[in-house]
């Protein structure tokens, strides 16, 4: 996977993984809204109202940014999945971290290796950016996502605790 280019990788089902461009924005927003709804169903603290994570302006910034990246999975001209992340150095870290914020595959297309390819594309891009590690936040009850990241070599490093007051 090249850095910022349009290299692609063909999967079964004629799915192509490639860097997102401005023309993909509306379809990515639609998928990110589905991801937001999933999260709101899974987590009582997450609002069902679209947030900044679904804001077209914010997603466009990630498509165009120097240290941000968005990959899409395209099937016959339709975007059926995407991944979005960035490189940064969190305050206490001694090196650069790649962060995978979103990885989503539309439901009818799951379990065909597309999520794995979207993450692998991110990993190649992060490596080309000289990161020291790659992280993602995954809900404890999200078995498919945990299994996917673990199968790619990710290890659990922390647990977030929550006390619900009301």
Ligand X SMILES: CC(C)(COP(=O)(O)OP(=O)(O)OC[C@H]1O[C@@H](n2cnc3c(N)ncnc32)[C@H](O)[C@@H]1OP(=O)(O)O)[C@@H](O)C(=O)NCCC(=O)NCCS
Tell me which residues touch ligand X (CB under 6 A).
35, 38, 102-105, 110-116, 138, 142-145, 147-148, 151
Question: What is the enclosing helix (H) or strand (E) of 10?
Answer: strand 9-11
63 vs 73 by CB, closer to ligand X: 73
For CA atoms 3, 65, 109, 138, the dihedral sign is positive
98 vs 115 by CB, closer to ligand X: 115
SS3 content of the chain, % helix, strand, coil (to 5): 40, 25, 40
User: In the complex, what is the shortest distance from the CB of residue 165 to ligand X, in angstroms, rounded to a whole number?
Assistant: 26
Q: What is the CA radius of gyration of the chain?
A: 16
User: In the complex, what is the shortest distance from the CB of residue 166 to ligand X, in angstroms, rounded to a whole number?
Assistant: 27
The two tokens of residue 87 are 């490189």
Half-sphere exposure of 45 (CA within 13 A, CB side): 6
User: In the complex, what is the shortest distance from the CB of residue 90 to ligand X, in angstroms, rounded to a whole number?
Assistant: 18
122 vs 131 by CB, closer to ligand X: 122
Q: Tell me the CA end-to-end span of the chain in Å, nearest whole number.
A: 47
User: In the complex, what is the shortest distance from the CB of residue 4 to ligand X, in angstroms, rounded to a whole number?
Assistant: 23
8 vs 142 by CB, closer to ligand X: 142
């Amino acid at each position: 996977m090249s850095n910022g280019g349009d290299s692609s990788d063909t999967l079964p089902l004629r799915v192509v993984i490639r860097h997102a461009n401005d023309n993909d924005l509306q379809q990515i927003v639609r998928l990110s809204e589905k991801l937001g709804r999933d999260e709101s169903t899974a987590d009582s603290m997450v609002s069902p109202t679209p947030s900044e994570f679904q804001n077209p302006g914010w997603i466009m910034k990630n498509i165009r940014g120097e240290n941000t990246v968005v990959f899409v999975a395209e099937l016959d001209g339709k975007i059926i999945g995407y991944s979005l992340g960035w490189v940064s150095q969190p305050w206490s870290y001694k090196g650069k971290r790649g962060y995978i914020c979103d990885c989503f595959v539309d439901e009818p297309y799951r379990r065909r290796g597309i999520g794995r390819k979207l993450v692998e594309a991110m990993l190649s891009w992060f490596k080309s950016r000289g990161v020291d590690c790659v992280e993602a936040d995954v809900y404890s009850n999200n078995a498919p996502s945990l299994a996917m990241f673990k199968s790619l070599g990710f290890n659990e490093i922390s647990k977030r605790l929550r006390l619900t007051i009301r």
